[in-house]
Amino acid sequence: MFGFGKNKISTDSYKGVRDFYPEDQSIQNYIFDIMKKTVESWGYEEYNASILEPLDLYKLKTSEEIINEQIYSFKDRGDRSVALRPEMTPTVARMVAKRMQELSFPIRWYSIPNLFRYEKPQRGRLREHWQLNVDIFGVSEFNADVEVIQIASQIMKNFGSKPEDFQIKINSRSLMDDLFKKIGIPDSNKSELLRLIDKKEKISEDNFRNSIKDLIGEDKTTSLFENLYYGEGIFSMLGTLESAKYIRNVIQTLRDRGVSNIVFSGTLTRGFDYYTGVVFEVFDTNPENPRSLFGGGRYDNLIELFSNRKVPAFGFGMGDVTIKDFLTTHNLLPSKKSTTDLYICIAPETNIEEVYNIASNFREQNLNVVVDISGKKLAEQLKSLDKRNIPFVTTIGSAELENGKFAIRNTKTRQEFLGNVLENIEFIRSNNQ
Amino acid sequence: MFGFGKNKISTDSYKGVRDFYPEDQSIQNYIFDIMKKTVESWGYEEYNASILEPLDLYKLKTSEEIINEQIYSFKDRGDRSVALRPEMTPTVARMVAKRMQELSFPIRWYSIPNLFRYEKPQRGRLREHWQLNVDIFGVSEFNADVEVIQIASQIMKNFGSKPEDFQIKINSRSLMDDLFKKIGIPDSNKSELLRLIDKKEKISEDNFRNSIKDLIGEDKTTSLFENLYYGEGIFSMLGTLESAKYIRNVIQTLRDRGVSNIVFSGTLTRGFDYYTGVVFEVFDTNPENPRSLFGGGRYDNLIELFSNRKVPAFGFGMGDVTIKDFLTTHNLLPSKKSTTDLYICIAPETNIEEVYNIASNFREQNLNVVVDISGKKLAEQLKSLDKRNIPFVTTIGSAELENGKFAIRNTKTRQEFLGNVLENIEFIRSNNQ
């Protein structure tokens, strides 16, 4: 039954996913904490669901590429088709639709689910990643768009990044619709055209123009390109239309609220088919690596795929892999901080029970304490502290137990303090940050 | 591409898994917070890994039932056999083995992963559950067993349960080995016998005795039963053996540390094959439902399935479903507390930007604030607060913006306070608990 013998089991994880050792998890926790604190300060409430969903949930709406090439799916033992969720939006839409009658709108929800896509693992793209999802349901007015984009910007600021470190590009599907109508692009070409425009940054200017020309012809392409590159001038061309007023209002309100790094981008379309209004995407401004960090938009027609009621929605998804890369590149990750406050080494022939009793005193005062029960020599006990970033250490032996006093050392400053339990607790409290 | 029309997509989640609406997630967060705070106060560090593991990880060691009947597995697009982890221990063993050279032992790790088993969904058993895993690696002495069992007990206490609400049963695989040797049970019967003994609580006394008699015969069964039911008297029979001294020491030290509800149980064996020493299991003492809550034990031979080095280990797993049931039955779940502190309603024809500005002031002081941007009538805005348990509410209109003062109401006590932003922040601070 046991696998003893020469053939050891591989210690490799599954391809394209990550093991989180404590030093990795502490970075994840830092990132998740900033995300959570920011969105909760805006009154968003956490929800969650299983990573397993019925495969049918994705058949009707997600972009085709994901369904056909990237979804993890299998049949369970009861012959049900199951998927590992590739994104959270269909799940949250399902959950909102299910409790439509009981929920009092508007609702503000967030979650940090893990998601799976079968991709060739590469920088910034893994098979599993975690993604903050922030959504507001039940508000069709532009205030919802503004609030959610402002939150996205606030999270970036709370990570310590400056407005010049990132740029928020914004566009509107309704505006694109109006533009397409003005130019005379047939409805049948619309989806494909949006997809081609979305690929702009990934291909050469020539290829880009040619691919569009093949679809809609030379004249319309010229007309389209004049508008796409017009920047915010597009507003004066389409100025009387609701779609132009709307997005102009979103941009202006965000600027008034201090989101200075937002710019209109006529070529921003976002991949998913379900967007219906404003879409936005946040980019790293680093010229060496001006990649997309995350984005979102308005999707007013998704809930009615599940329900007879229409519920307007606006949200975004922010992935941990790209954000961690961004924070690393911009030197914004804090140095690792241990969750442990004090490490107690034990001198030879000391009554361990008395040391455990002292540790309990610290714990009752909400300090986190390790007692070294390795039975190793003192030098080795101290060595096991290496790289753990625990801020305080002490050694307790029979003499210390007798005196009731022991010396606490700050592992960074090397400052020492001699005191009884209460004094030591106070010392740690006032010197720990 | 979109699924418009009459055929709506089902809002059901996959069978046997749960959706966590904010009120459910707030309970999960409460449970996870108590777990995390307790284990971190003992210096345990969080790790994590992907839910996907190579299927081979489970082929050699987990109990056969799980592999054959309950594991979720499939082939990925690259023809790799992948599993959704059914338990965390193989993963953590793999991770420890992989970094064997760099880690400084002893290491104390914890995680709260979700796990999958293909089971018939029923009370206390779902296809997906979350499970706190707490493990110490690198200490073979009994101090590790004592520490980890004490932590298990401490978590129960931190949930508010009293010693009489639960009982910790403890046994030792080494002691069983010695007992089996004394009675003359052949090694070939050992695994099967442990499995039969483990089923004791699930079958009738007659069936239990007969199933064992069929395996080892009448005489040995009589002899075994005399010992199994001897309680701690077994120690005096096997008193000179190391295995008996060891577990007696564990029990006595735990009692000395205040874990009063620990008892020896000769019939406790635990299902997994990998246990090598002390095993323990925590039971609800409710006579109407004396079910097992969680358990763990020593597994000193697991790491060497991956590595040439042997690393002693002791740990337990505590599932969210059973713990939540226990807390509900014993009335220990706190009433739902919103993560939002203040809900701001907006009177008609008010400048929303100024209200958002006030909300920012609260947020800068670490208070969590919702601004109602529904555009609904005031009565409806207030109604949307129902069941949300947000502790404070205010309504801001032009008059309030002009005066710079507005009334904050405590939604529980109905107490009202009129003040400017700073005064209101202070009021919320001192009245929020």
Strands B406-410 and B416-419: antiparallel
Share of chain A above pLDDT 90, in %: 69
Task: Give the residue among A276, A345, A357 at the shortest CA–CA distance from A312.
Answer: A276
Task: Give the residue among B236, B214, B217, B240 at the shortest CA–CA distance from B227.
Answer: B236
Higher pLDDT, A397 or A5: A397
Segment among B97-101, B193-197, B290-294 with least mean pLDDT: B193-197
Nearest residue of A to residue B390, measured between CA atoms: A43
| pLDDT (average), residues A190-202 | 84
C-beta separation of A45 from B27 below 8 A: no
| pLDDT (average), residues A257-268 | 93
| pLDDT (average), residues B226-242 | 75
pLDDT band at B153 (very low <50, low <70, confident <90, very high): very high
Nearest to A50 among B17, B52, B105 (CB): B17
Give me the pLDDT at residue B230, please.
Answer: 65
Burial class (CB in 10 A: 0-12, 13-18, 19+), B280: buried
Q: Which residues of A touch B58 (CB under 8 A)?
A: none
**SS3 sequence of B414-427:** CCEEEECHHHHHHH
pLDDT band at A273 (very low <50, low <70, confident <90, very high): confident
Nearest to B109 among A17, A22, A388 (CB): A22
Give me the pLDDT at residue B1, please.
Answer: 35
**B264: helix, coil or strand?**
strand
Q: Which residues of B touch A118 (CB under 8 A)?
A: 76-77
Q: What is the DSSP string of A89-138?
A: HHHHHHHHHHTTTT--SSEEEEE--EEE-----BTTB-SEEEEEEEEEES
Give me the pLDDT at residue B252, please.
Answer: 95
pLDDT tens-digit series, residues A374-400: 999 999 999 888 888 899 999 999 999
Across the interface, do B13 and A94 touch by the CB < 8 Å criterion? yes
Give me the pLDDT at residue A63, please.
Answer: 53
A273 touches chain B (CB under 8 A): yes
Strands A45-46 and A107-111: parallel
DSSP state of B66: I
C-beta separation of B170 from B65 below 8 A: no
pLDDT band at A68 (very low <50, low <70, confident <90, very high): low
Judged against a pLDDT cut of 50, whether residue B4 lies above it is answered with no
pLDDT tens-digit series, residues B296-330: 999 999 999 999 899 999 999 999 999 999 999 99
DSSP state of A67: I
pLDDT tens-digit series, residues A301-349: 999 999 989 999 999 999 999 999 999 999 999 988 899 999 999 999 9
Across the interface, do B49 and A20 touch by the CB < 8 Å criterion? yes
C-beta separation of B83 from B53 below 8 A: yes
A2 touches chain B (CB under 8 A): yes
Give me the pLDDT at residue B3, please.
Answer: 42
Segment among A227-236, A408-417, B115-124 with least mean pLDDT: A227-236
Judged against a pLDDT cut of 60, whether residue B62 lies above it is answered with no
Task: Give the residue among A155, A170, A143 at the shortest CA–CA distance from A112.
Answer: A155
- CB < 8 Å from A in window 224-263 of B: 253, 256-257
Buried b (16+ CB within 10 A) or exposed e, A352-372: beebbebbbebbebebbbbbb
Segment among A56-65, A223-232, B33-42 with least mean pLDDT: A56-65
DSSP state of A68: I
Across the interface, do B20 and A47 touch by the CB < 8 Å criterion? yes
Find all residues with CB under 8 Å of A379, minimum gap 6, and list them: none
Across the interface, do A2 and B273 touch by the CB < 8 Å criterion? yes
Nearest to B43 among A2, A18, A340 (CB): A340
Judged against a pLDDT cut of 70, whether residue A230 lies above it is answered with no
Judged against a pLDDT cut of 90, whether residue B111 lies above it is answered with yes
| pLDDT (average), residues B353-367 | 96
* Paired strand residues for B297: B279, B315
Judged against a pLDDT cut of 90, whether residue A202 lies above it is answered with no
Give me the pLDDT at residue B288, please.
Answer: 81
Find all residues with CB under 8 Å of A105, minimum gap 6, and list them: A137, A138, A139, A311, B374, B384
Q: Which residues of A touch B305 (CB under 8 A)?
A: 2-4, 8-9
In the block, which residue shows the tokens 């805005």?
B381
pLDDT tens-digit series, residues A23-34: 999 999 999 999
Judged against a pLDDT cut of 70, whether residue A4 lies above it is answered with no
In the block, which residue shows the tokens 């137990």?
A401
Give me the pLDDT at residue B197, please.
Answer: 87
DSSP state of B305: G
Give me the pLDDT at residue B2, please.
Answer: 43
B274 touches chain A (CB under 8 A): yes
Across the interface, do A22 and B139 touch by the CB < 8 Å criterion? no
Across the interface, do A375 and B45 touch by the CB < 8 Å criterion? no
Nearest residue of A to residue B39, measured between CA atoms: A368
Segment among A125-134, A327-336, B66-75, B173-182 with least mean pLDDT: B66-75
In the chain, the amino acid numbered A125 is R
Judged against a pLDDT cut of 90, whether residue B331 lies above it is answered with yes
**A421: helix, coil or strand?**
helix
Query: What average pLDDT does the structure give for chain B?
Result: 91
Extended strands (E) in B32-143? 45-46, 52-54, 72-75, 81-84, 107-111, 114-116, 128-137
Nearest residue of B to residue A26, measured between CA atoms: B46
**Distance, in angstroms, between B287 CA and closest chain A CA?**
32
| pLDDT (average), residues A344-364 | 95
Structure ipTM: 0.93
pLDDT band at B61 (very low <50, low <70, confident <90, very high): low
In the block, which residue shows the tokens 């995680």?
B111
Judged against a pLDDT cut of 70, whether residue A3 lies above it is answered with no
The CA angle A50-A54-A56, to the nearest 5 degrees, is 140
Q: Which residues of A touch B114 (CB under 8 A)?
A: 50-51
| pLDDT (average), residues A219-231 | 80
B49 touches chain A (CB under 8 A): yes
Handedness of CA B377, B382, B384, B390 (dihedral sign): positive
C-beta neighbour count of B352 within 10 angstroms: 17
Judged against a pLDDT cut of 60, whether residue B407 lies above it is answered with yes
C-beta separation of A106 from A139 below 8 A: yes
Share of chain B above pLDDT 90, in %: 70
Q: Which residues of A touch B77 (CB under 8 A)?
A: 118
Find all residues with CB under 8 Å of B291, minimum gap 6, and list them: B124, B283, B284, B322
pLDDT tens-digit series, residues A136-162: 999 988 999 999 999 999 999 999 999
| pLDDT (average), residues A215-235 | 81
pLDDT tens-digit series, residues B410-430: 999 999 999 999 999 999 999
